[in-house]
């Protein structure tokens, strides 16, 4: 088989697919892209067994049809060096030798048998729903950072999708922090829930960020989920298991409410955290009247920092400690001018909420567990 295609068009497709590839694979065939040429066009596939992604391209010219596995890194590194010129790939169907012609250059590499490449998973009895790409990007940005890395609790290494009659909820937690991102503009008459791994979600976040106006078709069954948009399709295996009862850990009675400028709080915590103990990353919040005092100390090195912020506060005077790294992550993933921190006691979780939500269909709640204060 033989085809001609723009080098830039091919490079962009290969770069999009390369996010699926692992740096080390148990199966050598997973280091390859699968090329398939037929009357529908040129389909390129990448897989790591858990996630499979395909892109369908229309080459400028195509002769014959066939399948071949092409060394991914070699082809990708070669394509990066070309200006935007037509390239020709000529594959010998018997020897699987691949000849690449570009400008005055001729390059040769060995292809591999396609029958060793993983089969594309088929979604049987799938439920389908259409979602906005912009909404999915927003949901992934605000939840993926809160997922865990504990191999003993795989359900917490992914994001929960929860479909209800009049809303869609995304939830992520690592037991120290939790994010619940809810969309009130999604309707689905068939309740469903499943857990998606973070790797395909990060891949989708990157791909969909340039396709904000597109609609994404999401299909899912008991084992897999498929996202289809434009000429791309990503299929991933769902995480098995039951997600923690996240509603039960969100405290409902929080009489102490602190409202503060998000950017000012973020900058202050970043500065104070530099002086914190490097194992606990503890920053102390002392709220007295309309004043917030942030402080940290590292007794081992005699380091100490204090900073005052003006705030709006309702409730009793309170002193509570938080892990600064987690708090910074949460503030970084909010874009609002002001945030509200709702608390009940120094040993109970704090709730971080945006003030004056820009999107009426968006409901964001972030929870952070306190750190025991050093007296």
User: Are 287 and 354 part of one and the same domain?
Assistant: yes
Q: Which of these, 198, 197, 227, lies nearest to 214 by C-alpha position?
A: 227
Q: Which of these, 126, 97, 125, 99, lies nearest to 112 by C-alpha position?
A: 97
User: Are 203 and 261 part of one and the same domain?
Assistant: no
Q: Which of these, 247, 270, 243, lies nearest to 330 by C-alpha position?
A: 270
pTM over 0.75: yes
User: Are 182 and 259 part of one and the same domain?
Assistant: no
In terms of residue numbers, what domain contains 8? 2-116
Rounded Cα gap, residues 102 and 79, in angstroms: 10
Q: Which of these, 17, 218, 233, 215, lies nearest to 134 by C-alpha position?
A: 215
User: Are 295 and 330 part of one and the same domain?
Assistant: yes
Domain assignment present for residue 122? The answer is no
pLDDT at residue 124 tops 70: yes
pLDDT at residue 375 tops 70: no
Which of 216, 247, 278 is the last residue in one of the domains? 247
For residue 374, what pLDDT is reported? Answer: 65
Spatial contact of 292 and 341, defined as CB atoms under 8 Å apart = no
Query: Could you report the per-residue pLDDT of 288-327, keeping only the tens digit for each?
Result: 989 999 999 998 899 999 999 999 999 999 999 999 999 9
User: Are 21 and 103 part of one and the same domain?
Assistant: yes
Q: Residues 45, 71, 89, CA angle at the centre, nearest 5°?
A: 80
Which of 185, 220, 247 is the last residue in one of the domains? 247
User: Are 215 and 111 part of one and the same domain?
Assistant: no
Query: Could you report the per-residue pLDDT of 210-227, keeping only the tens digit for each?
Result: 888 899 999 999 999 999
Domain assignment present for residue 121? The answer is no
Rounded Cα gap, residues 142 and 137, in angstroms: 9
Query: Could you report the per-residue pLDDT of 175-216, keeping only the tens digit for each?
Result: 999 999 999 999 888 899 999 999 999 999 999 998 888 999
Which of 201, 219, 247 is the last residue in one of the domains? 247
Q: Which of these, 13, 82, 78, 16, lies nearest to 41 by C-alpha position?
A: 13
Rounded Cα gap, residues 370 and 348, in angstroms: 7
Structure token digits, residue 314:
């309702």
Rounded Cα gap, residues 96 and 35, in angstroms: 12
Domain count, the chain: 3
């Amino acid at each position: 088989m033989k085809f001609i295609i723009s080098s830039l068009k091919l490079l962009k497709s290969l770069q999009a697919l390369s996010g699926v590839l692992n740096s080390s694979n148990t199966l050598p065939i997973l280091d390859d892209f699968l090329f398939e040429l037929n009357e529908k066009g040129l389909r390129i596939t990448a897989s790591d067994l858990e996630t499979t992604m395909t892109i369908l391209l229309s080459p400028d010219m195509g002769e014959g049809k066939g399948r071949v596995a092409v060394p991914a890194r070699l082809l990708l590194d070669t394509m990066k060096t070309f200006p935007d010129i037509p390239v020709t790939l000529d594959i010998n169907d018997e020897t699987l030798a691949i000849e690449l012609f570009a400008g005055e250059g001729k390059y040769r590499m060995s292809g591999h048998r396609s029958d060793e490449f993983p089969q594309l998973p088929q979604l049987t009895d799938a439920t389908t729903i259409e979602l906005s790409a912009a909404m999915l990007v927003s949901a992934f940005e605000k939840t993926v950072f809160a997922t865990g890395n504990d191999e003993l609790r795989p359900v917490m290494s992914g994001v929960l999708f929860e479909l209800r009659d009049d809303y869609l909820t995304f939830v992520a937690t690592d037991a120290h922090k939790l994010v619940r991102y809810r969309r009130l503009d999604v309707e689905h008459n068939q309740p469903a829930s499943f857990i998606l791994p973070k790797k395909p979600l990060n891949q989708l976040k990157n791909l969909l960020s340039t396709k904000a106006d597109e609609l994404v078709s999401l299909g899912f069954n008991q084992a897999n989920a498929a996202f289809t948009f434009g000429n791309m399709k990503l299929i991933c295996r769902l995480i098995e298991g039951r997600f923690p009862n996240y509603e039960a850990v969100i405290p409902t009675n929080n009489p102490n409410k602190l409202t503060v400028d998000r950017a000012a709080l973020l900058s202050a915590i970043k500065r104070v955290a530099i002086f914190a103990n490097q194992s606990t990353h503890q920053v102390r919040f002392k709220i007295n009247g309309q004043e917030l005092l942030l402080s940290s100390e590292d007794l081992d090195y005699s380091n100490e920092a204090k900073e005052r912020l003006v705030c709006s506060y309702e409730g009793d005077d309170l002193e509570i400690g938080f892990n600064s790294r987690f708090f910074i992550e949460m503030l970084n993933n909010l874009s609002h001018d002001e945030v509200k921190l709702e608390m009940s006691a120094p040993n109970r979780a704090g709730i971080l909420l945006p003030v004056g939500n820009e999107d009426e269909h968006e409901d964001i709640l972030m929870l952070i567990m306190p750190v025991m204060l050093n007296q």
